[in-house]
Amino acid sequence: STMARLQLSAVAACAVLLALAAPSLAGDPDMLQDVCVADLKSCESSCGLNGFPCKADITADDFFFAGLKKAGNTNNPAGSNVTAANVQSFPGVNTLGVSMARIDYAPGGQNPPHTHPRATEIIFVLEGVLEVGFITTANKLFTKTITVGDVFVFPRGLVHFQQNRGHGPASVIAGFNSQLQGTQAIATTLFAAAPPVPSDVLAKAFRVGTEDIDAVKAKFK
**Residue 116 annotated as lining a ligand binding site:** yes
Q: Pick the range with the lowest mean pLDDT from 53-57, 88-92, 197-201, 208-212.
A: 53-57
pLDDT tens per residue, range 119-166: 999 999 999 999 999 999 999 999 999 999 999 999 999 999 999 999
Distance CA 210, CA 197 (A): 12
CATH topology of domain 60-182: Jelly Rolls (2.60.120)
**Residue 167 annotated as lining a ligand binding site:** no
Paired strand residues for 121: 154, 176
Identify the residue with better confidence: 71 or 12: 71
With a cut of 70, say whether residue 13 has pLDDT above it.
no
**Residue 114 annotated as lining a ligand binding site:** yes
Q: Nearest 5°: CA angle at 182, between 131 and 106?
A: 35
Distance CA 177, CA 164 (A): 25
Whether 80 contacts 109, CB under 8 Å: yes
**Residue 127 annotated as lining a ligand binding site:** no
Residues of the chain with CATH 2.60.120.10: 60-182
Mean pLDDT of 29-34: 73
Identify the residue with better confidence: 3 or 136: 136
Residue 185, H or E segment: strand 184-185
CA atoms within 13 A on the CB side of 86: 22
